[in-house]
């Protein structure tokens, strides 16, 4: 009886929390626990933060968002730069999203967004507009490229 009550309560909690599917068919407690854990694991991975720094930036870059482009659409940054992006819009509200750097900032007309991050890991990080702004919204794409620093002992030139 107690077991039944616990499992009924567990099922109620599970139904309340499980948003991965509409009709939960989890039959066993183990399956149910796995389903309950999934949203928390997703939440943990979604919580990755933009690496940041203290003090003044050593690289300030201006980005203009407009119907329907991000200007410039390719931004090259040396590894370990203390970056400040000043993002403005020429027309309506847009949003600058760089998922690989955990950046997603709305940009409102007349109010540039200031985004600071530490360019830690070399790579190509696609960026796009994250606020539906009209028919050309999908064209608002680009990339931030973090260039690896040469090894300190590497000879430069020929």
Closer CB to Cu ion, 119 or 129, in the complex: 129
Residue 96 interacting with Cu ion (CB under 5 A): no
Cite the DSSP H helix spans in 18-90: 29-46
Q: Which is nearer to Cu ion, 70 or 75 (CB)?
A: 70
In terms of CB distance, is 8 or 90 closer to Cu ion? Answer: 90
Going by C-alpha positions, the residue among 28, 45, 1 that lies closest to residue 14 is 28
Q: For Cu ion, which residue of 66, 82, 116, 137 counts as binding (CB under 5 A)?
A: 137
Compute the distance between CA of residue 106 and CA of residue 120 in angstroms, rounded to an integer: 23
**8, 34, 69, 119, 126 from 142: Cα distances, Å:** 50, 37, 9, 17, 6
Q: Does 32 bind Cu ion (CB under 5 A)?
A: no
133 binds Cu ion (CB under 5 A): yes
CA dist 92 and 148 (Å) reads 35
Residue with smaller CB distance to Cu ion, 36 or 92:
92
Beta strands in the chain (DSSP E): 59-66, 69-71, 74-78, 82-89, 94-98, 103-107, 113-118, 123-129, 141-147
Nearer to Cu ion among residue 133 and residue 144 (C-beta): 133
Query: Per CB under 5 A, which region of 76-84, 112-120, 129-137, 150-158 contacts Cu ion?
Result: 129-137
Applying CB under 5 A, does 67 fall inside the site for Cu ion?
no
The answer to whether residue 65 forms part of the interface with Cu ion (CB under 5 A) is no
Q: Is 66 in the site for Cu ion (CB under 5 A)?
A: no
Site residues, Cu ion (CB under 5 A): 129, 133, 137
């Amino acid at each position: 009886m107690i077991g039944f009550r616990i499992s009924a309560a567990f099922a109620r909690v599970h139904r309340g929390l499980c948003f991965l599917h509409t009709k939960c068919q989890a039959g066993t407690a183990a399956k149910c626990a796995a389903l309950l854990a999934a949203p928390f694991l997703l939440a943990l991975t979604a919580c990755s933060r933009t690496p940041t720094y203290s003090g003044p930036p050593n690289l300030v870059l201006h980005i203009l968002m407009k119907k329907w482009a991000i200007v410039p659409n390719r931004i090259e940054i040396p590894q370990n730069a203390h970056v400040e992006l000043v993002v403005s819009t020429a027309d309506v509200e847009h949003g600058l999203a760089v998922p690989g750097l955990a950046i997603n900032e709305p940009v409102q007309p007349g109010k540039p967004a200031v985004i600071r991050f530490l360019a830690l890991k070399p790579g190509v990080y696609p960026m796009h507009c994250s606020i539906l702004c009209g028919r050309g919204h999908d064209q608002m794409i680009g990339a931030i490229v973090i260039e690896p620093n040469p090894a300190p002992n590497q000879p430069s030139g020929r």
